[in-house]
Amino acid sequence: MSEKLEKTVTAIKELVALFKTERTVYLIITLISVLVLIGTAISLIIRSDSQENTIAVMGLFGSSGGIVYSSGRLLKMWSEAMQLVQKVIEQKDG
């Protein structure tokens, strides 16, 4: 492996380590949101009477939004890291 590529990989490892806490927080938010989503869905199934379940529906939309946001933030970092590696490899080839 070339020295430039090794430095890039090391920099990515350091970047990932730097944001470990943030990734953990986003992962926890995702897990809590999934649990709320499943709990709300079960509640809607059990209480399928004629009342409006406004709170349950709001819970579904709120938790699904949390899942989408936190998952997007997790994937954004990985995407940026891979773009950095790709640039270094292209510079090496070019």
Parse the chain into domains and list their residue ranges.
3-89
Q: How much is the average pLDDT of 60-72?
A: 79
Q: How much is the average pLDDT of 37-47?
A: 76
Give the model's confidence band at 51: pLDDT under 50 very low, under 70 low, under 90 confident, else very high.
low
Q: Taking phi first (over 0 means left), then psi (-120 to 50 degrees means alpha), and beta for anything else, what does residue 51 get?
A: beta
pLDDT tens digits, 6-30 = 887 787 788 778 888 888 888 898 8
**CA 28 to CA 24: how far, in whole Å?**
6
pTM equals 0.57
